[in-house]
Structure formats: C-alpha cells, structure tokens
Amino acid sequence: MRVLVLGGTKFLSKAVATELVRRGHDVLCAARGASGDVPAGARLIRVDRNDPEGFAPLAGERFDSVIDVATMSLTWVNEALQALAANAGHWTFVSSISVYADHGPVGQDTSSPTVEPLVEATEARTPADDPAAYGRIKVASENRVREELGDRAFIPRPGLITGHEDWSDRFGYWPARFYQGGRAVVPDVPDQPAQYVDVLDLATWLVDAAEQRLGGTFDAIGPITPFPELIAEVAQVAGQDIELVGVAEDKLLAAEVKPWAGPRSLPMWVPGFHGMLSHDPKPAADAGLRHRSLGDATRAALENELRLGLERERRAGLTHEEEADLLRLT
Ligand SMILES: NC(=O)c1ccc[n+]([C@@H]2O[C@H](COP(=O)([O-])OP(=O)(O)OC[C@H]3O[C@@H](n4cnc5c(N)ncnc54)[C@H](OP(=O)(O)O)[C@@H]3O)[C@@H](O)[C@H]2O)c1
C-alpha cells in the first residue's frame, strides 16, 4: 500500500509508521519534523498544518490509506480532507474516549452519548490547549471524516495510551515509582476500574485496519481490570522492595492531590469518573485489536521511563517530597 501518515515523528503516529514500514508498505509522513525523526524506511514530507497552504506539496497525490492523528483542530482535519480525501482509499482518524458526554457510568460503548461538537473551532487553527474543548473538537472532527469518507472512515477512540515513547507520564508513573522501592502512596479505591492500551498494540491494529479497509467507530482500549489488581501486578513486575500504602480518597483530596494527571497527581485515579477507564473493549477485540499482557505492558512502560530518566520533572505524578509529606499524614 501507499500510505500517508499525518504525523509520524512522535509516539502513536511514529509507531504506526514504523509498523507500516516493517510490513513493507510505501510510507510517507507529513509533519514539520519538530517532534523528532520519522522511522527509518519512511519518507518525511515537511508540512506545517498551521500554514493554510501546508498541504500544497501533496496536491493531487493518491494514497491507499491516510492516517490522521490531528489532536485538537477541526481546521487541520477539514484541510486534510479537502486536500486528500477524494484520492484516498481508506481514512483513519484517531479520536479519543474523551468524546463521551458522561464519564460517570461504567461499561459505556460507542452507542453512549457524546459531547456537542465544537464547530466554531474552524475559526481557530489550533485552539489553546483546553481540556473542555478537546472532546468537542474530536466529535466535530469525527463527523467531518464520516461525512467525507462514509464507510471508508475508520475512527478508533483510544483511552489511555501507554508504552514505547509515551510522553504523557501517566501510566508510566506507576512502574517508575515502584521500581524505585520504598513506601509508595496508592489511592485506596477498591471499586475503581482501570483500563489502558499499549501503543504498539494500538499501532498494529491501526495498520491491520488500513490493510483490511476496516470502517466504523470503535473504543480502542484493553480489558477492564480492577485498579487494585492492576496496581498490585505493576508493583510485582516493576517493583523492588516496595510497600504499597493505600490512602483514602477523601484524604488525597484534602491534601490537594489531583486525580488522573498533571503535577501533584496520582495518575489513573479517577474519583467520580470511573466511566473513563471502563469502556467496553469487546467490539474492538472482535474487530482484531489484540493486547499484550499487563506484565509486558508494564515492562514496556518501565523501559520508556528508564530511557526518559526517573528523576526528570514529570508531567504527572507526585514528587518524592510530595509523597513523603503524604506518608507523614497517614
Ligand atoms: N496519549 C494518549 O493517551 C491519547 C489518548 C487518546 C487519544 N489520543 C490521540 O492520539 C493521537 C496521537 O497522539 P500522540 O501523543 O501520539 O501525538 P501528538 O502529540 O498528537 O502529535 C502527533 C503528530 O502531530 C504532528 N504535528 C504537530 N504539530 C504539527 C503541525 N503544525 N503541522 C504538522 N504536523 C504537526 C507532530 O509532528 P511534528 O511536531 O514533527 O510536526 C506529530 O508527529 C492524538 O490524536 C491524540 O488526541 C491520545
């Protein structure tokens, strides 16, 4: 196949480009090259999607498949469709589980209600990084891709992605923390579910889907595991002389520990939002998404953490000092 990856220099889209090359496809990556290199064997076409003429170098080109990871810009999506959809055999738009309207109920699937599309975003080329707008721009983007491509549109909605070259510091916080040993604060949440997808498993499925011209919309996510079970296994695989110290949610909230992500947070802790980490994994599994074991996903995340450096300033998690303060309170 001749495939165009809109991206290819970072995390998911780079993993997709790598897998496409490995399978012998002809791979072009359209990006600025600011985030890194494209994988060996793929070609970089320099495109800046903030430039209204950005797609000019690709005018008239035909592709068996186009894979777009536009994070948060309906303008980017519209311009890509305008430039390339007429000559594309299949189109993947990577959306997100953030499209859902209510992150409370567990076990949701693609029939669950989504947020209102934010079409006014066409005015802004790359809107400010606004978590409230993220899901709404994804919904608007999905709708445009479906309108344009019909049953040639494949729309995976990943949940939390982890593993090789993950830059978000979320899942990786846990193996990194446990690897460092000692007494580790974990949220005491016996009823919370947990769910993630390894980036290489997701990339493999995206390439399968392009090869098979799979259409449709899927929650692209792995099995649901109780959070305490997930944490125990990650600790067992990555930990060294580790003691898990469960801290009640009310104590964490009183101490201004943030859920989910960001500074002073406990990643993947989602009080009141259990639906975020409990989507039905079966439709994607039935359509071919396969998952490595939690042990292997943990080892991949730990390897990435060690490569990035455990003492770096993190985007998510507690610092040693913040954790020590919390332990003194318990
Ligand atoms: N991480 C998660 O857990 C998660 C969960 C759900 C959904 N998602 C979705 O997964 C997708 C991939 O996310 P990611 O973290 O792998 O990558 P990303 O940060 O979305 O970046 C992907 C690509 O966009 C390119 N890019 C950025 N600015 C550009 C510009 N002005 N012009 C052209 N290309 C540009 C980058 O290349 P250059 O910088 O080299 O130009 C890079 O290759 C996104 O759609 C995200 O919303 C992620």
- The mean pLDDT of 54-69, rounded to a whole number, is 96
Residues at CB less than 6 angstroms from ligand 1: 7-13, 31-35, 47-50, 69, 71, 94, 96, 158, 160-161, 168
Whether residue 136 sits in one domain with residue 43: yes
CATH number (domain holding residue 37):
3.40.50.720
d(CA 240, CA 246): 18
CA-nearest residue for atom 25, ligand 1, is: 7
* CA of 253 relative to ligand 1 center, distance in Å: 31
pLDDT in tens, 251-272: 999 999 999 999 999 999 999 9
pLDDT in tens, 153-194: 999 999 999 999 999 999 999 999 999 999 999 999 999 999
**Confidence band (pLDDT; 50, 70, 90) for 329?**
confident
Per the confidence metrics, is the pTM higher than 0.85?
A: yes
pLDDT at 131: 79
pLDDT in tens, 81-124: 999 999 999 999 999 999 999 999 999 999 999 999 998 755 56
CA-nearest residue for atom 8, ligand 1, is: 96
pLDDT at 92: 98
Whether residue 79 sits in one domain with residue 183: no
Determine phi and psi for 74, rounding to 5 degrees: -65, -30
Q: Is 116 exposed, middle or buried (0-12, 13-18, 19+ CB in 10 A)?
A: exposed
pLDDT at 125: 74
Residue percentage of the chain with pLDDT more than 90: 93
d(CA 128, CA 136): 13
User: Range of 91's domain?
Assistant: 2-158
In a domain, 232, yes or no: yes
Whether residue 316 sits in one domain with residue 189: yes
In a domain, 170, yes or no: yes
Instruction: Report the number of distinct structural domains present in the chain.
Output: 2
Is the Cβ–Cβ distance between 119 and 165 less than 8 Å? no
* CA of 208 relative to ligand 1 center, distance in Å: 20
3-state secondary structure of 107: coil
pLDDT at 121: 55
In a domain, 39, yes or no: yes
In a domain, 177, yes or no: yes
Name, in order, each residue with C-beta under 8 angstroms of 2's C-beta and a sequence gap of 6 or more: 25, 26, 28, 62, 63, 64
Nearest alpha-carbon partner for 317 in 251, 257, 275, 277 = 257
Whether residue 189 sits in one domain with residue 56: no
